[in-house]
Amino acid sequence: MSAATHQHVHGHNCGHDHHHHEHNAGPIRVDALLSGRGVSFARGGRTILEHIDIDIGAGEIVTLIGPNGAGKTTLVRVLLGLEKSDSGTIARRADVKIGYVPQRFDRDPAIPVTVERFLALGLPDAGADVPAVLAEVGASRVAGQQLHGLSGGELQRVVLARALLRNSNLLVLDEPVRGVDYVGEAELYGLIGRLRTTRGLGVLLVSHDLHVVMAQSDRVICLNRHVCCSGVPETVSQHPEYARLFGAQAARAFAVYHHAHDHSHDLAGEARPKDPAQGQPK
Amino acid sequence: MMEPFFIRALLAGLGLGIIAAPLGCLVVWRRMSYFGSTVAHAGLLGVALGLLLDMDLTLGVILVSLAIGGLLVVMQRQRMLPVDSLLGILSHAALAAGLVAAAKLSGQRLDLMGYLFGDIFAITNTDLVWIFAGGAVVLAIVGWLWNTLVAVAVHEELAAAEGLDTRRAEAALILILAFTIAIAMKIVGVLLIIAFLIMPAAAARPFATTPEGMVGLAALFGVTGAVGGLFLSNGWDIAGGPSIVLVLSAIAGFSMTRLVFAASR
């Protein structure tokens, strides 16, 4: 781990045009599942992404936050290979298997397909593992139902189960709580956190719900076409650029929601188990 | 005792009903019906091209279909006009060009009405070989790529993000669609081919719970439509293509009624 070269918080002046960039992310992290370096993307003469550096390692939850139009979804699509960046490099570790939960999952009622069939689709012999992954995400009840009849929350769990069935080691979730009620939202984030722990998954999460996300993430990247600031949630939330983007009130409100983790972070945002001497978590 | 021409027509209808079923379902799932009819309309131009260049007519149709598919891909690089407008342009440009070419060739060897509306009773043994050998190739390709094709139909981006080769699936689909249309053209004609693909699949949807179940039912409906249409055509002395599509319409209409009533309950 290149903790020595990895700065605690990178900061840029968000509100202004940049003519000069400092890039100190350095070479691609060898342990990272998925990395982007200097990723730029423009469409129709409009810059959407500018020199983005990002790494997602195994067992860490990296969250992308940023206002509407900040390029969060575009960055995810570029990292997934669904869009081609204009410049920069995307590197995937050789063994990476991506499970993707897209922002919109438009189901087509014209296709008759059960949840079980959807899960196994494209896998030669997955049938036997289907009940296990459905139980893992708490969606056993819908196994035999038609995919197009599921509620938003059920659908998200099923898409998550599909990723698990493929033994994905990297989950990419683009605003996974869309169309899910508040209770379902907390449950879904809880589930993602548990999967990270039990399966050691890397997770790239896109969100604009600051509270829940800040509490769940190991590292937060604040995006507004370029990386405004990044680091562990505690420091990002105190960064002036974060306050500028989300308002001082949001930054303060976060402090209220801050709750005990079962681990702490080193300076680079790497999770490490909580020292038992520091007392009982929660 | 059945006449040989009627037996050939029955065999052709039977074969096409089965070949069209998986493809028809994919066309419905992928919302490709307008694309399908564009390729079908271009078929006439393909026949004219085949006659002009003195090559196999089926090959001419396939070549023109592929050219249309390629042109559509190029035209989609612009982002101002929606795909249905592009297809509207291509479809009618191809039909107009085909009609003009047919007019120039008429009196020579081109039976325009036969190609527009099909002439199932004029099916020859060579045509039957095309239908069954070509159909076997189409079904083999569909069977080989089936899981990918269904995965792409369910959610294209998910399939792509998971590493499935969606472009290959797409290309294969366009290729076999062109091929199917080429061999179906003589039976139902360029104007009605797409009905042969969509109607059985649409009629099957309300009764199906799996993709394969939908294909099976679509095949049953397609064959029923073809055979029923033949008897209708023979009995009333009307053209084969419209007769078949009329029977298919009745089946689709019955199914649709069921859907509409189920939705309003």
**A6-40, pLDDT tens digit by residue?**
334 444 444 444 444 444 556 667 678 999 999 99
Q: Please indicate, yes or no, if residue A261 is contained in any of the structural domains.
A: yes
Q: Which two tokens stand for residue B111?
A: 């039976």
Shared domain for A62 and A188, answered yes or no, is: yes
Shared domain for A81 and A217, answered yes or no, is: yes
Contacts of A98 in chain B (CB under 8 A): 161-163
pLDDT in tens, A64-91: 988 888 888 899 999 988 888 999 999 8
Most confident of A123-132, B35-44, B244-253: B244-253
Shared domain for A236 and A176, answered yes or no, is: yes
Residue B128: other Cβ atoms inside 10 A:
16
For residue B175, the one-letter residue type is L
Shared domain for A186 and A88, answered yes or no, is: yes
Q: Is the pLDDT of residue A163 over 60?
A: yes
Q: Is the pLDDT of residue A266 over 60?
A: no
Shared domain for A156 and A174, answered yes or no, is: no
For A97-214, strand residue ranges (E) read: 98-101, 170-174, 202-206
Torsion of CA B194, B200, B202, B208, to 10 degrees: -150
- For residue A29, give the DSSP letter: P
Q: Please indicate, yes or no, if residue A275 is contained in any of the structural domains.
A: no
List Cα–Cα distances, B107 to B34, B97, B102, B104, in angstroms: 32, 18, 9, 9
The reply to whether residue A113 touches residue B154, judged by beta carbons under 8 angstroms, is yes
Shared domain for A244 and A129, answered yes or no, is: no
| Facing residue for B151 by CB, picked from A100, A112, A121 | A121
Total structural domains within chain A: 2
| Facing residue for A111 by CB, picked from B147, B153, B157 | B153
Shared domain for A265 and A181, answered yes or no, is: yes
| Per-residue pLDDT at B29 | 94
| Per-residue pLDDT at A137 | 86
Q: Is the pLDDT of residue B263 over 60?
A: yes
| Per-residue pLDDT at A280 | 43
With CA atoms as reference, report the closest residue to B163 among A115, A97, A55.
Answer: A97
The reply to whether residue B209 touches residue A114, judged by beta carbons under 8 angstroms, is yes
Q: Please indicate, yes or no, if residue A10 is contained in any of the structural domains.
A: no
- Pairing state between β A10-11 and A61-65: unpaired
Mean pLDDT for the stretch of residues A239-260: 62
Contact with chain A for residue B126, Cβ under 8 A: no
Contact A192, A173 (CB under 8 A): yes
State the count of interchain CB pairs (< 8 A) between A and B. Answer: 67
Residues 6+ apart with CB under 8 A from B148: A122, B159, B164, B165, B166, B168, B169
Q: Is the pLDDT of residue A275 over 60?
A: no
| Nearest residue in chain B measured CA to CA from A111 | B29
Contact with chain A for residue B20, Cβ under 8 A: no
Domain hosting A197: range is 28-96+170-270
Shared domain for A140 and A205, answered yes or no, is: no
The reply to whether residue A80 touches residue B211, judged by beta carbons under 8 angstroms, is no
Q: Is the pLDDT of residue A258 over 50?
A: no
Contact A114, B209 (CB under 8 A): yes
Shared domain for A61 and A157, answered yes or no, is: no
Residues 6+ apart with CB under 8 A from A107: A147, A148, A150, A155, B154
Mutation pick from B157, B164, B217 vs chain A, by most beta carbons of A within 10 Å, is: B157
| Per-residue pLDDT at A279 | 40
Candidate from A170-174, B3-7, B180-184, B225-229 with smallest mean pLDDT: B180-184
State how far the Cα of A42 lies from the Cα of A86, in Å rounded to an integer: 7
Q: Which CATH class is domain B4-193?
A: mainly alpha
The reply to whether residue A113 touches residue B213, judged by beta carbons under 8 angstroms, is no
| Per-residue pLDDT at A193 | 86
- Pairing state between β A271-273 and A263-265: antiparallel
| Facing residue for A82 by CB, picked from B79, B153, B160 | B160
The reply to whether residue B208 touches residue A112, judged by beta carbons under 8 angstroms, is yes
Residues from A contacting B (CB-CB < 8 Å) are: 44, 80-82, 98-100, 102, 105-108, 110-114, 117-118, 121-122, 146-147, 159, 162, 166, 172
Q: Is the pLDDT of residue B264 over 80?
A: no
Candidate from A78-92, A96-110, A227-241, B133-147 with smallest mean pLDDT: A227-241
User: Which of A122, A147, A168 is the endpoint of a domain?
Assistant: A168
| Facing residue for B209 by CB, picked from A99, A146, A162 | A146
pLDDT grade for B225, boundaries at 50, 70 and 90 = very high
Shared domain for A152 and A175, answered yes or no, is: no
Q: Please indicate, yes or no, if residue A242 is contained in any of the structural domains.
A: yes
Shared domain for A197 and A128, answered yes or no, is: no
For A184-233, strand residue ranges (E) read: 202-206, 219-224, 226-231
Mean pLDDT for the stretch of residues A146-170: 88
Q: Please indicate, yes or no, if residue A195 is contained in any of the structural domains.
A: yes
Mean pLDDT for the stretch of residues A257-277: 46
| Facing residue for B158 by CB, picked from A44, A102, A111 | A102
State how far the Cα of A235 lies from the Cα of A232, in Å rounded to an integer: 6
| CATH at A40 | 3.40.50.300
Contact with chain A for residue B85, Cβ under 8 A: no
3-state secondary structure of B196: helix
| Per-residue pLDDT at A16 | 42
Mean pLDDT for the stretch of residues A39-52: 89
| Nearest residue in chain A measured CA to CA from B158 | A100
User: Which of A146, A168, A190 is the endpoint of a domain?
Assistant: A168
Tell me the backbone φ, ψ of residue A107, rounded to 5 degrees: -90, 140
| Per-residue pLDDT at A256 | 42
Q: Please indicate, yes or no, if residue A186 is contained in any of the structural domains.
A: yes
pLDDT grade for B189, boundaries at 50, 70 and 90 = confident
| Per-residue pLDDT at A203 | 92
Shared domain for A130 and A114, answered yes or no, is: yes
List Cα–Cα distances, B180 to A42, A64, A224, B39, B231, in angstroms: 40, 47, 49, 10, 24
Show the CA angle centred on residue B204, arms to residues B203 and B206, nearest 5°: 90
The reply to whether residue B155 touches residue A146, judged by beta carbons under 8 angstroms, is no
For A81-211, strand residue ranges (E) read: 87-92, 98-101, 170-174, 202-206
Q: Which two tokens stand for residue A82?
A: 């669904």
Å from B143 to nearest chain A CA?
13
| Nearest residue in chain A measured CA to CA from B144 | A122
User: Which of A117, A139, A168 is the endpoint of a domain?
Assistant: A168
| Per-residue pLDDT at B177 | 86
State how far the Cα of B116 lies from the Cα of B99, in Å rounded to an integer: 10
The percent of residues above 70 in pLDDT, for chain B, comes to 97
Q: How many CA within 13 A on the CB side of residue B26?
A: 27
The percent of residues above 90 in pLDDT, for chain A, comes to 16
For residue B71, the one-letter residue type is L
Residues 6+ apart with CB under 8 A from B166: B148, B152, B156, B159, B160
State how far the Cα of B263 lies from the Cα of B265, in Å rounded to an integer: 6
